[in-house]
Chains A and B, each alone.
Chain A
Amino acid sequence: MKLLTHNMLTSKCMKGVSVGYPLGINASDVRVSEVDFNPDFIARMIPKLDWAVLYNAAESIGQLEDLPKDLANNYENDQEFLKKVHHVLLEVDIINGELVCPETGRKFPINNGIPNMLLNEDEV
């Protein structure tokens, strides 16, 4: 699971959960692999992200490197910055671990890079 996916996932569909975001991450196996860099893609993706959530997620799994806490001004033209975002968004993969609902503590296992977000009948 990439952190870009994590940035979108929520447990809000569970009974009794109102926001369900962001999900906590317990990672037991994190892999980093190289992905082609497309600065235009990253620049257009940034406004769609919850930046704070991305920052905290990267920090929580020790993959922050030197990503700034705040968005750079004029980031569209800042290749170095975009590269760092690219790395965090797409090159970091959580292979095994779990996601945790911030409101109920319900855990969603991640196996082989796949979060299992299925809910039991009594949870919806």
Chain B
Amino acid sequence: MNSAAKTKKLERKLKKLQHTVLRETGMSCDLTPTKNIVICNAGLVNGLSEEAIYKHFSQHGILENILLLPGKSCSFVSYTKLQSACNAFETFNGKLNIAQDNKPVYLLYTSSLPVVETSKTWKNLPPGLLILEDFVTDEEETELLKLCDFEKDSNGMKNRQVKHYGYEFRYDTNNVDKDKPLNEAIPDACNFLWNRLSNTYGLDFHPDQLTVNHYSAGQGIPHHVDTHSAFEDPIVSLSLQSSVVMEFKLDNQHLCVLLPRKSLAVISGESRYDWTHGITPRKFDVVYTNNNFTALERATRTSFTFRKILQGECRCSYKSKCDSYSKQVNASIENDAASRLEKLHVHEVYENIASHFSDTRHKPWPNVLEFVQSFDTGSILVDIGCGNGKYLGQNTSSFSVGCDQSTGLINVCKDRGFEVFTGNCLSVPLRDDIADGVISIAVIHHLANEDRRLQAIKEMVRVLRVGGQALVYVWAKDQCKNEEKSSYIKQDRRNRKCKDITSRDGAVDNEVSVLQGVSLPVHTNRTQFKHNDVLVPWKLKGRSESDNVFLRFYHVFQENELPGMCRELSNVEVVKSYYDQGNWCVILRKV
């Protein structure tokens, strides 16, 4: 291709991308030079990172801003000087291969950057976070590092090395064994920190638990909230050897905070209880300071995180992240209350909505269908909680029998010619060891406490023959896994485009008193779940507002909760555990 043809091609390409950028961000861009460059064909969606932009574009001058938008395939770079932007533009346009599949980027200028609420910002600290810079001296840093030698004792984790003092933090239970203190308490050599905190800053803090984390350059820690019931407020963390960027997230807010070497972070209140924090694994951070971006290469970093064990339960007001609150809700739903709750907010609701519900439940889920169809001729399949029977006629060489609590739904099944009976999943009226396969799809999340959910699984296992398999689906609390939104969330058109579904999460869940002494939050349909035990509204069409909304009880499951329960049983093995369209799923085999 000659150079005239090349220019022509580039022009056509840019013309097309101009429209894409306008449509995606509402920003108009063209060839008139400004300090702001739009990278038209590469953004977060196709894998472009802040670091990659920084690495190349900082070669041409000081960067004032780097803007990557969630869910977009374009991004923005601003220079402090016009000349820098022009140089970068000339050098990179159509030539720098950092777009998807190592394709070249295409650039245009824009007069200003889009104003966004959902992107990462550096402007603020989360409420309650305090960074005390230069809290220790170089000499003190050296002395502290001597306390804990990671070359010798390496109880390595995937991300980093860890050592505990006072009490062990157990990553399997996300808590500490409060009645099993370790032999090694927090070293006395740390005491000067509390004196300094008290004398200089007026903060009284006397921790009894220390976790030392040793990160190699490039290692990180996944986003988390320190378990509410494990520790008091605040959490205090000292950064040694290297600075690092810690990210804090709450709903659609995403704040980046530089933790400088030798600084002490005091994480309290909202930042401790409601915000998650984490460190992205990468070799260098792009840091925004003094109105421009710089790169900060990470070295080995050691953090000393000091906490005080909480005696008793957490009483914070940040309920959606509070394990004590969940536990208290769960405990209040004792067996009697649980069965009344299920009667009112599951059984009676399904009777009322049966025909509408059935009309909306036609399409079998592919993975369930595959399981049902995997059984040989002459197999006995039992569908516990069969609803309108959408899986009952799917394996014609087997004998399928369905069971449901709802008379309305069971009648629908019978009208469709299926073999069914009315029954409850807590006491399945079938012989032991009779079924080759059992399915229970979207059923046990309607049971109001853990004992009952486990009892339902025991019943499935009881009716299975040895070697037989059961498939269980339950609704997941997390409706957005690996950046993929579940179809439940996507049914609201507003959720399809924006990547971050929490951005629609402004609504506060109301609490409704369901039984004496038991109140539950009402979930906002088509949004991410905030609580484990919720009421989910079902709206019937064509009736007046007051009598057309029914509240169904759900316990939405955390990751690993379902396989964890199954492993409590000695006569099953978990064959497979997976996430499917907003559901947690397990395949069990009776042994």
Which residues does A use to contact B, with CB under 8 Å? 1-2, 4-5, 8-14, 21, 38, 40-45, 48, 112-119, 121, 124
Residues from chain A with Cβ under 8 Å of B369 in the complex: none
Is the pair B426, A10 in contact by a Cβ cutoff of 8 Å?
no
> Which residues of chain B in 390-428 are interfacial with respect to chain A, using CB atoms and an 8 Å cutoff?
397, 399, 401, 403, 405, 407, 410-411, 414, 419-424, 426-428
B414 and A41 contacting across the interface, CB-CB below 8 Å:
no
Residues in B neighbouring A5, C-beta threshold 8 A: 401, 419, 421
A4 to B382, CA, bound (A): 13
Measured between C-beta atoms, what is the minimum distance from A113 to chain B in Å? 6
| Inter-chain contact A10/B429, CB cutoff 8 Å | yes
Selected interface stretch from B95-103, B144-152, B354-362, B372-380: B372-380
User: Is B377 a contact partner of A41 (Cβ separation < 8 A)?
Assistant: yes
Please tell me if the beta carbons of B378 and A40 are within 8 angstroms of each other in the complex: yes
Q: How big is chain B's contact interface, by range?
A: 20 to 34
B-side contacts of A38, CB under 8 Å? 377, 397
B180 within 8 A of A: no
17 residue pairs from A and B, CB less than 8 Å apart: A9-B421, A11-B429, A12-B431, A13-B427, A21-B431, A40-B377, A41-B378, A41-B399, A44-B378, A48-B380, A48-B434, A113-B414, A117-B403, A117-B423, A117-B429, A118-B422, A119-B427
Does B121 count as interface, using CB distance less than 8 angstroms? no
Residue pair A115, B378 in contact (C-beta under 8 Å): no
Cα–Cα distance between A118 and B429 once the two chains are bound (Å): 9
Q: CB of B185 within 8 A of chain A? A: no
The residues of B that contact A113 with a CB separation of less than 8 Å are: 414
Chain A residues lying within 8 Å of B380, measured Cβ to Cβ, are 8, 45, 48
Residues of B within 8 A of A1 (CB): 419, 421
Question: What residues of chain A lie closer than 8 Å to B377, measured between beta carbons?
Answer: 38, 40-41, 44
> Is residue B430 contacting chain A, with contact meaning CB distance below 8 A?
yes
Contact A13 B429, beta carbon cutoff 8 Å: yes
**B residues in contact with A2, CB < 8 Å:** 419
- Chain B residues near A41: list those with CB within 8 A: 377-378, 397, 399
Chain B residues with CB below 8 A from A14, complex form? 427
A117 → chain B closest CB, angstroms: 4
Cβ distance B464 to chain A, nearest Cβ, rounded Å: 12
Min CB distance, A64 to chain B, in Å?
A: 21
> Across the two chains, which residue of chain B brings its CB closest to A36?
B396
Query: Which single member of A11, A13, A45, A114 contacts B411 (CB below 8 Å)?
Result: A114
A45 to B380, CA, bound (A): 8
Question: In the complex, A21 Cα to B463 Cα: how many Å?
Answer: 14
Most A CB within 10 A of own CB, among B378, B419, B423, B429:
B429
Check A124 against B426 for contact (C-beta < 8 Å): yes
**Which residues of chain B in 118-151 are interfacial with respect to chain A, using CB atoms and an 8 Å cutoff?**
none
Q: Is there contact, CB below 8 Å, between A118 and B423?
A: yes
Alpha-carbon distance between A112 and B408 when the two chains are bound, in angstroms:
13
B411: chain A residues within 8 A (beta carbon)? 112, 114
Minimal beta-carbon separation of A104 from chain B (angstroms): 13
Inter-chain contacts of B399 with A (CB < 8 A): 4, 41, 45
Q: Chain A residues near B405 (CB, 8 Å)?
A: 118
- 3 closest A-B pairs by beta carbon, nearest first, are A44-B378, A13-B427, A117-B429
Residues from chain B with a CB closer than 8 A to the CB of A45 are: 378, 380, 399
- Asked if B252 CB lies within 8 Å of chain A CBs, one says no
Q: B519 contacts the other chain (Cβ, under 8 Å)? A: no
A8 to B429, CA, bound (A): 8
Nearest to B430 among chain A residues (CB) is A8
Interface contact B422-A116, CB-CB below 8 Å: yes
Q: Which of A14, A38, A117 has the most CB of B within 10 A?
A: A117
Flag whether B581 is at the interface (Cβ < 8 A).
Answer: no
Is B339 interfacial (CB 8 A cutoff)?
yes
Residue in contact with A9 in the complex, picked from B376, B407, B424, B429, CB distance below 8 Å: B429
Minimal beta-carbon separation of A76 from chain B (angstroms): 11
Q: Report B421 CB to chain A, min CB distance, Å.
A: 4
CB distance from A39 to the nearest CB of B (A): 10
B462 CB to closest chain A CB, in angstroms?
10
Complex CA distance for A43 and B376, rounded to whole angstroms: 13
| A77 to B: closest C-beta gap in Å | 15
Q: How far is the CB of A120 from chain B (nearest CB, A)?
A: 11
Instruction: Tell me the minimal C-beta distance from A82 to chain B in angstroms.
Output: 11
Q: A48-B378, A117-B423, A119-B424 are in contact. List 4 more A-B contacts (CB 8 A).
A: A1-B419, A8-B430, A9-B421, A121-B339
User: In the complex, what's the smallest C-beta–C-beta distance from B372 to chain A, in angstroms?
Assistant: 16
- Whether B401 contacts A114 by the Cβ 8 Å rule is no
Min C-beta distance of B554 to chain A, whole Å: 22
Give every chain B residue within 8 A of A116 (Cβ-Cβ): 407, 421-422
A123→B410 CA distance, assembly (Å): 22
Give every chain B residue within 8 A of A44 (Cβ-Cβ).
376-379
* Set of chain B residues within 8 Å of A124, measured between Cβ atoms: 426-427
Q: How far is the CA of A40 from the CA of B410 in the complex (A)?
A: 29
State in angstroms the CA–CA spacing of A9 and B440 once bound together.
Answer: 18
Name the A residues within 8 Å of B423 (CB-CB). Answer: 117-118
**B residues within 8 A CB of A112?**
411, 414
Choose from A10, A40, A42, A119 the contact partner of B430 (Cβ within 8 Å): A10
Q: Is there contact, CB below 8 Å, between B426 and A8?
A: no
Shortest Cβ gap from B451 to chain A (Å) = 14
Interface centre among A1, A44, A119 (most CB of B within 10 A): A44
Give the distance in Å from the alpha carbon of A13 to the alpha carbon of B414 in the complex: 24
Cα distance A40–B376 in the bound complex, in angstroms: 10
Check if B431 sits within 8 Å of A10, measured CB to CB. Answer: yes
Interface centre among B377, B401, B427 (most CB of A within 10 A): B427
Which among A4, A42, A48 has the highest number of chain B CB atoms within 10 Å? A48
Closest chain-A Cβ to B414's Cβ sits at a distance in Å of: 6
Find chain B residues with CB under 8 A from A11 CB. 429
Instruction: Report how far A14 CA is from B380 CA in the complex, Å.
Output: 24
Measured in the bound complex, the distance between the Cα atoms of B407 and A115 in whole Å is: 11
Q: What's the nearest-Cβ distance from chain B to residue A21, in Å?
A: 6
Chain A residues with CB under 8 Å of B378's CB are 40-45, 48
CB distance from A78 to the nearest CB of B (A): 16
**Chain B residues with CB under 8 A of A121:** 339
The complex places the Cα of A9 from the Cα of B431 at a distance, in Å, of: 6
- When distances are taken between beta carbons in the complex, the residues of chain A under 8 Å from B420 are 114
Q: Is A9 touching B430 in the complex (CB atoms < 8 A)?
A: yes
Could you say which residues of chain A place their CB within 8 Å of the CB of B397?
Answer: 38, 40-41
